Amino acid sequence: MNQNVVVIGGGPAGIEASRKLRDLGYTPILIESQPALGGKLTRWDRLFPDGVEARAILDPMLQDLDGIKYFTDTEVLSINRLKDTWVVKLSNGLSAQVRAILLTTGFDLFKAEKKEEYGYGIYERVITNADLEDWYKSGAPLQFDNVHTIGFVHCVGSRDEKAGNRQCSKVCCVTAVKQACEFKEKYPDATVYCFYMDLRMFGRKFEDLYLKAQKDYGIRFVRGRVSEVSEDIDGHLFVKAEDTLFGKPLKIKMDLLVLMAGMAPAASSASLARMAGITTGEDGFLVPRSIVGDACRASREGIFLAGAVTGPKTLPETLGEAASAALAIDQFLKTPVKQ
C-alpha cells in the first residue's frame, strides 16, 4: 500500500506523472474512463508551434508503461478517507488503499452547439477545431466541394460569461493560426480569415508563427466577433461580423467555418472533487493550495493535482506539472505520518 499511488485520468498528465512515479520507485495505479490511454492528444495531428506530430510525443509515452498498473474503461465509484489513507473503489470491482491520489482528468472541449448563433450541429459546413484536426489526421480528402473561403472563429465558449466560461483557454489562438497555415498548405488558393478578440500568442515561437501566417500564408486577421451565421440554399455560409479596428460591419460568404472551441472544466473532475471533498473554483476547475507556490496539492492532505484539471494549459506546461506533482508526492510519501 505504501508504495502505491492512484492516478486518475490517463491523458498526457496522468501518463507522464505515472512514469515519473514509477522511476521514483512507486507503483502507480492509473485509471482511465475511456477505452484507451492518451486523452485528447490521441485526436490531434500536429502540435504548435513547430508542427511536431502529436504521436511523436504520445507513442513513446505509451510504449513506456512497464511497472505501471493501468485500467481503461474504468470509472471511480467512490473515494473515502480512512485514517491517514484514501480508499478508492473502481467500477471493475477492485479497490485501492493509498496515501496519495493524483487527479489528472484534464478538460472537456466546450460544446460548440451551445453557441447557437454559430450553427454548429445545424449547418454541415460549420465544424470545430477538433473536427478539423480529425480531418487533418485522417489524411482523407475534404468532405466538402468548392472550399475557397474559410473562417476561424476564436474564443468559442471562452472569455464568454454567457457561455459560463470567463477564462481564456490559452491555446486556441495559436491553434487557430497553426490550423489556418495548415489549411493554406493543402489549399494554397483558399482565402482564410481569423476572427479574433485579442491574439494571445504568448509562447516561444508563437509570434513567429503569427508573422509567418500573415507574410507567407496571407491569412487575413479580422479583429471582431462573429455575430451571426446563416446558410444559403447550396449549403454555403454567410458570416456576419464587425471589424472593430475599422468600425465597419462585414458579411462574408464562406465555404467552411471552424469554431475554436475552448477548454471547459471536465465534468468528471467535479464529481471526483465531491467524492474527495476538495475545493472546486467558481470557474469549475479544481483549486490548488496556491497557484504560484503550491500548484500540485489540493485542499486536502494526500490529494494532488496536475495539468488542465486546474485550468487551461499547454502540453509542455501539462507535462512539466505532471513531473512536479510526482516529486511532490514523493516528498509527501517520504514524510512520516504524524501519530
Considering the complex, what minimum distance in angstroms separates the CB of residue 158 from ligand SF4?
A: 3
Side chain identity at 288, as an amino acid letter? Answer: P
Considering the complex, what minimum distance in angstroms separates the CB of residue 164 from ligand SF4?
A: 14
The CA distances from residue 289 to 48, 279, 301, in Å, are 30, 9, 10
Work out whether 269 is an interface residue with ligand SF4 (CB under 6 A): no
Work out whether 198 is an interface residue with ligand SF4 (CB under 6 A): yes
What's the CA gap between 172 and 319, in Å, rounded? Answer: 18
Q: Give the range of 34-42, 140-148, 195-203, 226-234 binding ligand SF4 by CB under 6 A.
A: 195-203
Peptide bond into 49 cis (omega under 30): yes
Nearest CB to ligand SF4, comparing residues 168 and 276: 168
Work out whether 219 is an interface residue with ligand SF4 (CB under 6 A): no
Cell numbers found for residue 8: 486518475
Work out whether 169 is an interface residue with ligand SF4 (CB under 6 A): yes
The CA distances from residue 336 to 2, 46, 237, 298, 300, in Å, are 11, 45, 64, 19, 17
Considering the complex, what minimum distance in angstroms separates the CB of residue 196 from ligand SF4?
A: 7
Which residues face 196 on adjacent strands? 223
Work out whether 159 is an interface residue with ligand SF4 (CB under 6 A): yes
Determine how many CB atoms are found less than 10 A away from the CB of residue 37. 23
Considering the complex, what minimum distance in angstroms separates the CB of residue 246 from ligand SF4?
A: 20
Work out whether 13 is an interface residue with ligand SF4 (CB under 6 A): no
Helix (H, G, I), strand (E, B) or coil at 242: strand
Determine how many CB atoms are found less than 10 A away from the CB of residue 133. 22
Nearest CB to ligand SF4, comparing residues 67 and 203: 203
**Residues within the interface to ligand SF4 (CB under 6 A):** 154-155, 158-159, 168-170, 172-173, 197-198, 200, 260, 262
